[in-house]
Homo-oligomer: A and B are copies of this chain.
Amino acid sequence: MTGSLVIAGLGPGAEALVTPEVSYALAQATDVAGYIPYVARVTERPGLRLHPSDNRAEIDRSRYALEMALAGRHVVVVSSGDPGVFAMAAAVFEAVEAGPAEWRDLEIRVLPGITAMLAAAARAGAPLGHDFCAINLSDNLKPWALIEKRLRLAAEADFAMAFYNPRSKSRPEGFAKTLQILRESCNDARPVIFARAVSTPEEEIHVVPLTNCKPEMADMRTMVLVGSSTTRIIQRTGAPIVYTPRSVET
């Protein structure tokens, strides 16, 4: 009996953003594992076992999923957004590398999804239309000094920036420091997009000049996008359009 493990991205929240590939994998699964709110998005059906687990239990969840696959189950580990971007795929492969040899030869597939920065950018216009970087602002798993170094170099490179996990109750100060670093490196009018709960009923999008940004504008459900020096705002009757042109003048 040969099992399999699929690590699937559910996108940012709306069902209309789940790829058919992922829907098909869920329809074939015998077991679905993941963080509680993501497993809650999977439709129950006879023969499907759901294995919700808590946040920060990524390695335990990965090992459990690998054990089930080795036992012949068809397991889908669900992730929000894209599983390869600050999500479950790296955690599963960490577990594979540290685990027993037979885990390496399991059939393991990663199915991409719409990651939050793409959904947020689409709502605002095209702020990531030119070169950009993506930085996880959480210092749970890396030193703050590295985040700060990357922010300064990203500003020097004039990348647009996408920030995942900008701020949580247990880390209120990192995003305040991030804004301070940006103010030292970027012009005051640099557009910053706060995109909260994109594609869900709670969605809120705000475009704020850097000089007016406040740390409390972000929480753990917020994606923050920062324009490059060439990013433009088109004012109009409704929400403004923020986009980064494809060209940079010589």
Cα distance A235–B104 in the bound complex, in angstroms: 8
- Determine whether the beta carbon of B118 is less than 8 Å from that of A112: yes
Cβ of A94 to closest chain B Cβ, rounded Å = 5
Cα distance A129–B18 in the bound complex, in angstroms: 20
Q: Which of B58, B84, B136, B234 contacts A121 (CB 8 A)?
A: B84
- Determine whether the beta carbon of A90 is less than 8 Å from that of B244: yes
In A7-38, the 8 Å CB interface with B consists of 11, 14-21, 24
Residues of chain B within 8 A of A170, CB atoms compared = none
Q: Which of B86, B89, B122 contacts A243 (CB 8 A)?
A: B89
Residues of chain B within 8 A of A24, CB atoms compared = 16
Residues of chain B within 8 A of A112, CB atoms compared = 17, 114, 118-119, 121-122
A240 to B, closest residue via Cβ: B104
A151 to B, closest residue via Cβ: B157
Count of chain A residues near B, Cβ 8 A: 78
- Determine whether the beta carbon of A110 is less than 8 Å from that of B126: yes
Residues of chain B within 8 A of A126, CB atoms compared = 83-84, 89-90, 92-93, 110
Cβ of A193 to closest chain B Cβ, rounded Å = 12
In A73-127, the 8 Å CB interface with B consists of 82-87, 89-94, 96-97, 104-105, 108-115, 118-119, 121-123, 125-127
> For A19, A94, A250, which residue has the most chain B Cβ atoms within 10 angstroms?
A19
Q: Which of B85, B123, B128, B141 contacts A118 (CB 8 A)?
A: B85
Q: Which of B121, B133, B156 contacts A132 (CB 8 A)?
A: B133
Q: Which of B20, B118, B136, B248 contacts A146 (CB 8 A)?
A: B248
A241 within 8 A of B: yes
Query: Which chain A residues have a beta carbon within 8 Å of chain B's beta carbons?
Result: 11, 14-21, 24, 58, 82-87, 89-94, 96-97, 104-105, 108-115, 118-119, 121-123, 125-136, 141-143, 146, 149-150, 153-154, 156-159, 232, 234-238, 241, 243-248, 250
